[in-house]
Amino acid sequence: MRCVPIVLSSINLKGGVGKTTIAVNYAAYCGNKGRKVLLCDLDPQANASFGMIGVEGWESHVAKKGTVADLLGARRHKNAQGVARGFNDVVIKNAWNNVDLIPSHLDLFTVDLDLAGITAREFQLKKSLKDHIEDYDIVICDCPPNLTLPTQNALAISTNYTVPVSLDYLSVLGIGLLLSRISSLSEDLDVDLTNSGIIISRVGRPAKHRAETESVVRGEFNGDVLSGKITDRTAISAAMEKAQSIYSSGDQSAIAEFNHIFSELDQNLGIK
């Protein structure tokens, strides 16, 4: 039996900052290193799910099996036998090398309303994974750009979190607020969460305002910001469209950037 694994949430209050890119490619990175990985897609946009198994694969699985919405209890989904679906029903084994996937669903957009009367609703994911989480070396949660119930469920099982940010004003403006809210939520959920790094992502062409913004971020948050950064490349989106990770792209410059970031992340997570 393995020890309780690292559970890492990729989180930001703003969309389009690279949360999903970091989550799925770190899952691939870990899988390629022989770690047993579970990726939980908790964003109702389901981009991580699409990026790993494609839209058609996702549609087929949803129709026959289920999604993380079932594990959270959204609309109290039932299978054909009238029984609520569990972990073994919804998980996709080896979606990528050594990476299992719990896909997301659009129902998460309304999950706060659907579960308004449910007790301990922030702990539904924890309850669903309790008999399976020790089968993994690391669990990675891709969160929506908010602190609603899906994110709360992710944080309730998390040991660590990372904050991808892009070098734009609105993305950077919310970092302090996000860190403060996560601190408050961790107290409410009675979990001990460690910030394992702010990751500068989706970096565009060199420009004065981006350089100034990066300087501000690194100055204000100092050691919390990883030294590497991820350039916004067509290879990243092209790989996702093919349901592949960056490691199948053949873009060695992109792969080197991700490896740099993920080796730093490993160090902060205490993974050797």
Domains of the chain: 6-269 (3.40.50.300)
Average pLDDT over residues 250-269: 97
Buried b (16+ CB within 10 A) or exposed e, 29-39: bbbeeebbbbb
Residues 6+ apart with CB under 8 A from 129: 71, 87, 139, 157
Q: Which helix (H) or strand (E) holds 232?
A: none
Amino acid present at 129: L
For tokens 């949430």, name the residue: 9
Burial level of 234, CB count in 10 A (0-12/13-18/19+)? exposed
CA distance 104 to 49: 7
Mean pLDDT across 192-213: 89
Write down the pLDDT at residue 231.
94
Tens-digit pLDDT profile for residues 92-137: 999 999 999 999 998 898 888 878 778 889 999 999 999 999 999 9
What CA–CA distance (Å, rounded) separates 208 from 185?
Answer: 36
Residue 3, pLDDT score = 66
152 — alpha (psi -120 to 50), left (phi > 0) or beta? alpha
Residue 140 clears pLDDT 50, i.e. is over it: yes
Q: What is the pLDDT of residue 113?
A: 83
Cβ contact 57:35 at 8 Å: no
- Closest by alpha carbon to 73, among 119, 29, 39, 15? 119
Residue 81, pLDDT > 80, answer no
| Per-residue model confidence (pLDDT) at position 77 | 47
DSSP labels, 116-181: TT-TTGGGHHHHHHTTTGGG-SEEEEE--SS-SHHHHHHHHH-SEEEEEE-SSHHHHHTHHHHHHH
CA 113 to chain centre: 23
Average pLDDT over residues 231-260: 96
Q: What is the mean predicted confidence (pLDDT) over 17-30?
A: 97
Q: Are 141 and 101 in contact (CB under 8 A)?
A: no
Q: Is 194 helix (H, G, I), strand (E, B) or coil?
A: strand
Instruction: Write the CA distances from 13 to 143, 153, 216, integer angstroms.
Output: 9, 16, 19
Query: What pLDDT does residue 74 have?
Result: 72
pLDDT computed for residue 75 by the predictor = 54
> Residue 237: which pLDDT band, with cuts at 50, 70 and 90?
very high
Q: What is the mean pLDDT of residues 189-217?
A: 89
Q: How far is CA 126 from the centre of its chain?
A: 16
Distance (Å, rounded) from C-alpha 45 to C-alpha 15?
11
What's the pLDDT score for residue 184? 95
Please tell me the predicted confidence (pLDDT) of residue 1. 37
Mean predicted confidence (pLDDT) in 148-161: 96
What does the pLDDT average to over 238-262? 97
User: To the nearest whole number, what is the mean pLDDT of the chain?
Assistant: 91
pLDDT on residue 83 = 54
Highest mean pLDDT: which range of 3-12, 165-174, 206-215? 3-12
